[in-house]
Amino acid sequence: MNKFDYKNIYLISSNLSTLNKSGINIEKSFHIIKEIISKKSYKKSLERISKSIYEGNSLGDSFQNEDRYYPSIFLELLKVGEYSGHLDMVLEHLGKYYKDLENQRNNVISSLIYPIILIISLMILVGFSFFNLIPSFIELYDSNISEIPSFLSKIYDINLFMKENINLTIILIILYSISLIIFLHLINIKKLIFNFLNKSKIYNKYYEKNLLFLMYTIMISGIPILTSINKIISSSNEDKLRERLIEFRDFIEAGGQIWEFFDKPEYSKSTYLLIRIGEESGKIEIKIKEAFDMVESSFNGIIKTYLNLIQPIMISIIGIFIGITILIFIVPIYSGIGSM
């Protein structure tokens, strides 16, 4: 799966919208935007797009040839905007959306830095305990206590074996890693994770948010919603989103109303109510935008809550490890010395 650079995508979208509104021709617009873009691959992409447009291709088709760098939804909505004559509006909305995704990604990364440091520290602590701390405790037991606890003796024997047979140890670690990968593949760990996430609140919020984003962007473009959704279905590389779009399309084609489709447990009650008000009042675009904003805010709040839990959990794990180390190694020493 491609890892798209949301920062450069939103810079391209928002600035192209602004320049196009100002009446600047497309060739000059791409030249200006290219100077803003930081990533070399996206600079080259813009050069190829500009050349393609100069050769007579449409903006949408020129971007489509660069699908390695732009999400399928972005490409289809760009075509929708170009076809409808509301390109500026669609680009502006795409810019805001991908800017939010970039901020979201940065928040996740910054929140994970400290837990990752803690995990690395824990691994170093475990390695230090196994290769240095345990032998030191064994020496203390030998000099102060007549009998070494059996579990310490076994750990010490493993320690000696690994030091004396380093090549064999490396081979065993590699074989163990391969066996673990094969085991996870056999039990279809991806399917288990998918099924778990599919039942989670954050997963449903993610796809509800994306569906509302698509609907609002299509509606402000003025293109019939089913026409645009059929195009997105044919190009989307997200299976779950495609499933929901197909479900939505079939429901509407069967004569259902939009608000009725959202009257399901996997969608927010507020989304269903707002869209119903919008359809009955004739202001559905406004209400879908309100629903999108509410779901996005809720989604970001859930992510923030989960990320805030990671740090205390990791600190607790390290604290438990240190506590167990004290109970296993230090307490028996003092008990043994006290009984002498």
122 against 50, higher pLDDT: 50
CB 132 within 8 A of CB 324: no
| Cα angle value 241/247/248 (rounded, 5°) | 90
- Report the distance separating Cα 17 and Cα 305, nearest Å: 34
Nearest C-alpha neighbor of 146 from the set 329, 336, 335, 338: 336
pLDDT at 33 over 70: yes
Residue 104 CB coordination number (10 Å): 16
Where is average pLDDT lowest: 109-123, 210-224, 291-305? Answer: 109-123
- Kindly tell me if the per-residue pLDDT of 297 is higher than 80: yes
For residue 194, report the phi and psi dihedrals to the nearest 5 degrees.
Answer: -60, -45
The predicted structure's pLDDT at residue 225: 85
3-class DSSP assignment, residue 149: coil
- For 110, 119, 305, the CA distances from 315, given in Å and listed in that order, are 17, 9, 17
Q: Please answer whether residues 89 and 81 qualify as being in contact, where contact means their C-beta atoms are separated by less than 8 angstroms.
A: yes
Please report, for the chain, the start and end positions of each structural domain, with discontinuous segments joined by +.
6-70, 87-340
Mean pLDDT of the chain: 83
DSSP 340: -
Q: What is the rounded average pLDDT of the residues 49-68?
A: 91
Query: 113 vs 99, 117, 311, CA distance in Å?
Result: 21, 6, 10
**Amino acid 295: pLDDT:** 93
Identify the band that residue 330 occupies on the pLDDT scale cut at 50, 70 and 90: low
Higher pLDDT, 193 or 254: 254
Higher pLDDT pick, 92 / 192: 92
Across 279-300, average pLDDT: 92
Tell me phi and psi for residue 70, to 5 degrees: -130, 135
Does 209 score more than 50 pLDDT?
A: yes
pTM of the model: 0.71
Structure tokens at 109: 């990364």
Of 89-98, 159-168, 179-188, which range is least confident? 179-188
What gap in Å lies between CA 140 and CA 129, rounded to an integer? Answer: 15
Which segments within the chain are labelled E, that is strand? none
What is the band of 1 on the pLDDT scale with cuts at 50, 70, 90?
very low
User: Would you say residue 337 has pLDDT above 70?
Assistant: no
pLDDT score, position 190 = 57
The fraction of the chain above a pLDDT of 70, given in percent, is: 86
Percent of the chain with pLDDT over 90: 31
Looking at the structure, give the CATH architecture of the domain made up of residues 87-340.
Up-down Bundle (1.20)
Task: Give the residue with greater pLDDT, 250 vs 146.
Answer: 250
> What is the pLDDT at residue 220?
85
Average pLDDT over residues 190-201: 61
DSSP one-letter code for 67 = T
Rounded Cα gap, residues 261 and 80, in angstroms: 23
Query: In the prediction, which pLDDT does 5 show?
Result: 92
Closest to 97 (Cα-Cα) out of 247, 216, 274, 228: 216
At 291 the pLDDT is 94
For residue 85, the one-letter residue type is G
Please determine, for residue 267, whether its predicted confidence score (pLDDT) is greater than 80: yes
Range 162-188 average pLDDT: 81
What is the pLDDT, as a whole number, of residue 189? Answer: 57
